[in-house]
Amino acid sequence: MQNLLLFIDKVSTWIGQFFSWLIVALTFLISWEVFSRYVLDNPHPWAFDVMSMMYGSLFMMAGAYTLSKNGHVRGDVLYGFFPPRLQAWLDLALYILFFIPGVVALAWAGYGFAAESWAINEHSNITANGPPVYPFKTILPIAGAFLLLQGLVEIVRCIVCIKQGEWPKRGEDVDEVDVEKLKEMVNVKDEDIAKLDVLVTAQGNHK
């Protein structure tokens, strides 16, 4: 069971990392459009629509990835003080009452929007000869399906935690910088940092 959960975590991670490259593409597109508009005096009317669709695709497809890393915003003022079993019970109730119905509605409605968009060969009407919209709308049911799959994994994790009293492991990914480990690696102590702060402050006052 744990191997299956970690495998789905890896799938969500791979999808999130794959679509994260849209940030790079979006950066280049925005930079080129600014250059083209203000230097070459040749703006592209389709650029704004494409930028919005690229960012929207990134945002939607990152949902399952973020959930797999337990990275969604949580009001944990009290939650963090609860024992794991109570946390799991709360999460399980919220997943069943709100998450599952909401994501199923997203996937179902998204499928309808995408099917209709493909049927009418929908294009953006914000500008003349706008870019096609149906590929972007197809992202809606796909993102909903992956988010639902990851949500089912989280429900299983809640059940495991309720039974075992501790949260099961998650798939590994990029970690935040551990300052203590970094100081250990470069052989720097707190006293050295304090001395450096004093020296920099003294030099600043001298100037």
Helices (H), the chain: 2-38, 47-61, 63-68, 84-94, 100-119, 134-164, 179-185, 190-206
Range of the domain at 106: 2-175
Q: pLDDT tens digit string along 61-105?
A: 999 999 998 887 777 778 878 899 999 999 999 999 999 999 999
Residue 165 has phi, psi (to 5 degrees) of 85, 5
Same domain, 46 and 134: yes
pTM comes to 0.77
Same domain, 168 and 187: no
Same domain, 197 and 110: no
Q: Does 176 have pLDDT greater than 60? A: no
Q: Does 193 have pLDDT greater than 90? A: no
Number of domains observed in the structure of the chain: 2
Q: pLDDT tens digit string along 96-141?
A: 999 999 999 999 999 999 999 999 999 988 777 789 999 999 999 9
Same domain, 187 and 100: no
Contacts of 159 by beta carbon, 8 Å cutoff, 6+ apart: 88, 92
Q: Does 166 have pLDDT greater than 70? A: yes
Same domain, 167 and 200: no
Write down the pLDDT at residue 200. 67
Write down the pLDDT at residue 187. 73
